Amino acid sequence: MKVRFYYFVLALLLSLTLFPQTSFTQGRQRIREIDIESNFDVSDFKNLILNQSGLRVGNPLSSDSASQAIRTLWDLDIFSDVRITSEQVENGLKVIIKVDVLPSINRIKTEGFDEYKEEEVLTNLGLVRNLKIGDRKIVKMKDQINAMYKEKGYLLPKVDFITTPVPGDSTFVDVLIKIVEGRKYKIKTINFEGNENLSDKKIKKEMETKEDRWYRSGDFKEDVFTQDKEKIIHLYKSEGYRDAIIARDSTYFDEDAGKIHLTIFVQEGRKYKFGKTTYEGNSIFTDDDLRALVKYSEDETFNEDMLHQSLYEMNVLYNNRGYLKTGLVPVQMAHGDTVDILIDIAEGNVSKVSKIIITGNTKTVEKVIRREIFLMPGDEFNRTLFDRSHRNIMSLNYFENVEPDYEPHMDSDDVDIVFNVTEKQTGVASMGAGYSERDKLVGTLSFSNSNLFGKGQGVNVSWDIGSRRKAFQLGFTEPWLFDTRTSFSFNVYNIVRSDYTSAFDQEQRRGGYIRLGRRLRWPDDYCRGYISYRLEDVNYTNPSEYYSLYLVTGKTSSVSFMLTRDSRDLPQFATDGSRTSATYEIAGGPLGGDLSYYKYLFNNEFYTPIVWQVSLIVRSRLGFLKGYKEDTWVPYSERFMPGGTSYDGFVRGYSNRQVCPLLSGEEIGGETMIVNNFELQFPIVAQMVYGLCFYDFGNAWRNLSETNPFDVKRSAGLGVRLAIPGLGMLGFDFGYGFDKLEGATKIGGWRTHFQFGNQFL
C-alpha cells in the first residue's frame, strides 16, 4: 500500500474548483442528498462518516465546509483516501463522499526482537487485532520503534512492516514486523572545537551525555544531547560570554567498533562584564530599594544567572506588596566589553485575593487545609505568604503533592488562589515486625491515622511483643483545639524491656503525658511552644547490687517546657530549612514523685542543598541533667546513652547506648552529652528511597566537670532509608568506629545498624 497524499491534495483542490460557483457566492446551493461510496462495505461506518464530516442535508455547501470535512475524515486514520464531489440535482446538490477504507489487522508476528519482548513492543505501539492500518500509521510506528531502540543505545536499527492481504478477505491483512537491531553504540569521544576560554573538562562537567567508561554507560540519547547543548550555552553565559552559540555539531558512527564520536563546534564571542544598572518606570520602590536586591556588582564578569536572580528578587518584592502583574524587562546594552542593564518596569496595579479554591481533597475536610493558608479573600497578594501557605499544607503530610497556582481575573486585577492537593493514605492498620539492635525482633499490632476522619486529628494504638520488649501505647493529638492555634495531645504507655544488660533482669516503664501546644507569631510563625506534664513509674527486677547506686526506682512527676522552630521544606526527606528545639524539664520537688532532677535538651537540624539533588544535613544534640542535691544520683532511666542508633543520639559504628560512661562493660549513662552528625543525603527514588554518607562524633560524660567536647567517639559510613507506607522508615547503616570505647581494648571497627518499623521510644 502507498499513502495517497496526492489524492488528498487533489481532493482539496477539486473541492475548490468542481463545485458550482453559485454554492459559494450566492449561498443558494444547499445539500439535498449525501451519498457514500467506498471500496469496502461501509454500512458500519455510515453514521460515523456522516457525523464526522459535518455536512448536513439542508445546509449550504462551500469550499470551506468541504475542505473541513475532508480533513476531519482523514484525521480519523481509518481511510487511505477521502474525496468529495457534487452533482446538481433538483433544488440543490447531491454530495458524494468517496472513501477508501484501510484494512484491519488479522494476525501480528514479530522477528528479530531481542532487546525487547514482543508484548513490550506491541503494547508501546498500541498494536492490536482489528486495528485499521495504513502507511501513515506504519511510518509513525517505525518512528516509535526507532525511539525505543535509541533509548537503549541502538542508534541504527532497521525496521520493516510487511502487510499481506488475507486470502479471500481483502478487508484484513496479516502484519509482520521485522527488525535488524544492529549494534549498541557507545560514546567513545566528545570533542569541542572553538572553545578557547573554557576547557573541555569544564564543559563536559555540565553535560549529562558522557563518554563510555567502566563505571558509566556512555549511552547516546538525542533528547538529552539537545538539552546538553542548551546547558553549554548557559555555562558560557554564566561565564560572561553572552554571545556564545553552538554553530553546529557532528556525530560520527564507527560501525566496526560500535562507537560514536561527537564533536561540538562553539563560537564563544567576547567576554563581557557588568556595567551600570539603571531603572525606569519604578514609583513604588526607589532605585536604592531595587539596587539592594541586585546580586552582581559593576565591573564583575557578566553572569546571566545573577541577572535573572536579581529580577526574581525584585519581582518577589513587588509581589509582596500586591503587585502581582508587575513586568520587569532587562534591556542589555553592550558597548565594548561592558553590558549596561536598563530594567524597564511596568508596575501595574495591586492585585487582591478574590477567592481561595481548594481542589482534589476527597478525604480531608476543607477547613483543615484552609487554616494553613496565610492569605485570605480581600488581602493584597503576597508572594511570601503564598509560598508559606504551600509549605504549610505540604508539611501536614496528608498529601502526596500540593500544586499551588493563581488565576488572574480577566476583567480586573484580582486573582483567585488555587491549591490542588493529591490525597495519600494516612490511616494504617497493620500486623508486622520491627527490628533494632537493642530490642531485636519485635512483633507489632498497630493502628495509626494522622488525619482521622479527614479532620487532621491523630491517633495511634500499638501493641509490641518480642523476646526483649513488650509494649503498649495509646496516643491522640488534636492540632487545633476548639479551632484555635492551640494543640492538645496525650499518650499512655507500658513498656517492659529485658535481657539486654547484666545490671538487671527487667525494666518496666509505665505512665503517660499530656501536652498543650501553641503556634506562635513571635519571633516568627515557624515557632511553637509546648508545656507537658508526665507521670511515669520505673521499676527494675532483680537489680545488681553493683549497679544499685544508679538504678533509682520510683515515680517521676515532671513538667517540661519546649520551644521549637521548624522551617523545613518537607516533613520527610527535607532538603532545605532547619528544625530547632530547646527543652527544659523539671521533676520532683513541689510536683511530688520519688525522683528529683532537672534536664536541658537542645536539638538542631540544618538542611541545605549542595549540588544536583544532594543535600547536606547537620545535626547537633546537647544535653545536661542534674539532681537537685549534690549527692543525688540522676536515675538510670533518664541518663544520656548515645551510640549506634540510640534515641539519645546517633554515633554509628558502635553498639547502641554504648558511647557513654560504662561500669564493668555495662552502660550507666552520663549527665552531659554532645552528639553531632554530618550527612550527605541523595534520592534514589524521590520521597521513597534515599542514600546517605555520614560522619558522626559525640560522647556522654558522668558529670559536668568531666565534660570534654574534644573527647568524642568518631565514626563514618554509608546508609540507606526507605519509606514504606504503613510500616514507617526502614534504615540500614554501615559505619566504622575510629575510637575505643571506655574500657575497651579495640576500636569500634565496622558495625551494621538496622531498624525496621515504627518503634516506640
Q: What secondary structure does DSSP assign to 598-613, as a single string?
A: EEEEEEEEEEEEEETT
Per-residue pLDDT tens over the stretch 36-76: 888 877 777 788 888 888 888 888 888 888 888 889 888 88
Residue type for position 241 = Y
Q: For residue 72, what is the enclosing H or E element?
A: helix 63-75
Has residue 4 got a pLDDT over 70? no
* Contact present, 471 and 760 (Cβ < 8 Å): yes
Residue 20 is predicted with a pLDDT of 42
Q: Which pairs count as long-range contacts for 628-631, CB under 8 Å and 24+ apart, including other chains?
A: 628/588, 628/589, 628/596, 628/597, 628/598, 629/596
pLDDT digits (tens, 9 = 90+) for 479-518: 999 989 999 999 999 999 886 677 778 889 999 999 999 9
Average confidence (pLDDT) over 308-313: 95
pLDDT at 74: 87
CATH of domain 273-346: 3.10.20.310
685 pLDDT tier (thresholds 50, 70, 90): confident
For the segment 451-468, the average pLDDT, to the nearest whole number, is: 88
pLDDT of residue 760: 31
Compute the distance between CA of residue 127 and CA of residue 160 in angstroms, rounded to an integer: 15
**Grid cell 487533489 — which residue?**
10
pTM over 0.85: no
Query: Residue 523, preceding bond cis, omega within 30 degrees?
Result: yes
89-146: pLDDT as tens digits:
888 888 888 888 889 999 999 999 988 988 888 988 988 988 989 888 999 999 999 9
Torsion of CA 482, 396, 352, 343, to 10 degrees: 150
Q: With beta carbons less than 8 A apart as the criterion, state whether 470 and 496 touch.
A: yes
Residue type, 16: L
Phi/psi-derived region of residue 153, left when phi > 0, alpha when psi is between -120 and 50, beta in every other case: left
pLDDT value at position 447?
Answer: 85
Pairing mode, strands 353-359 and 506-519: unpaired
pLDDT band of residue 630 (cuts 50, 70, 90) is: low
Point out which residues pair with 533 in neighbouring strands.
514, 559
The neighbour count for residue 712, using CB atoms within 10 Å, is: 16
CATH of range 427-755; options 1.10.3720.10, 2.20.70.10, 2.40.160.50, 3.40.50.150: 2.40.160.50
- Going by CATH, does the domain composed of 5-101 fall within 3.10.20.310? yes
CA distances from 698 to 250, 394, 600 (A): 56, 33, 17
Please say if the pLDDT value at position 415 is more than 50. yes
Cα separation, 378 vs 98, in Å, equals: 61
Q: What is the distance between the alpha carbons of residues 341 and 458, in angstroms, rounded to a whole number?
A: 54
The CA–CA distances, whole Å, from 447 to 429, 458, 473, 745, 757 equal: 4, 11, 11, 46, 13
Q: Are strands 92-101 and 31-38 parallel, antiparallel or unpaired?
A: parallel
535 beta partners: 512, 557
Decide if domain 186-267 falls under CATH 3.10.20.310. yes
pLDDT in tens, 182-232: 888 889 999 999 999 999 999 999 999 999 988 888 888 888 899 999 999
pLDDT digits (tens, 9 = 90+) for 327-385: 999 999 999 999 999 999 999 999 999 999 999 999 999 999 999 999 999 999 999 99
For residue 727, the number of C-alpha atoms closer than 13 Å in the C-beta half-sphere is 17
Tell me the pLDDT tens digit for each residue of 585-626: 999 888 988 888 999 999 999 999 998 889 999 999 999 999
Distance (Å) of CA 572 to CA 569, 684, 729, 761: 9, 15, 10, 19
- The larger pLDDT score, comparing residue 245 to residue 99, is at 245
| DSSP codes of every residue in 18-38 | TS-THHHHTS--BEEEEEEEE
Mean pLDDT of 242-246: 95
Examine domains 186-267 and 273-346 and report if their fold is the same.
yes
Name the 3-class secondary structure at 71.
helix
If one looks up domain 104-180 in CATH, what number appears?
3.10.20.310
| DSSP label of 756 | B
* Other Cβ atoms within 10 Å of 53 Cβ, number: 22
Q: Whole-angstrom distance between the N-terminal and C-terminal Cα of the chain?
A: 73
Poorest-confidence range of 3-7, 183-187, 674-678, 716-720? Answer: 3-7
Q: How far is Cα 79 from Cα 49, in angstroms, rounded to an integer?
A: 11
Residues 570, 669: Cα–Cα separation, whole Å: 34
List alpha helices for 191-319, DSSP H. 200-206, 222-238, 287-291, 304-319
Radius of gyration of the chain (CA): 36
Which is more confident, 110 or 662? Answer: 110
pLDDT over threshold 90, residue 311: yes
Domain ranges of the chain: 5-101, 104-180, 186-267, 273-346, 353-423, 427-755
Q: Which CATH superfamily groups domain 353-423?
A: membrane protein fhac (3.10.20.310)
Element (H, E) at 340: strand 338-346
Torsion of CA 464, 466, 471, 473, to 10 degrees: -10
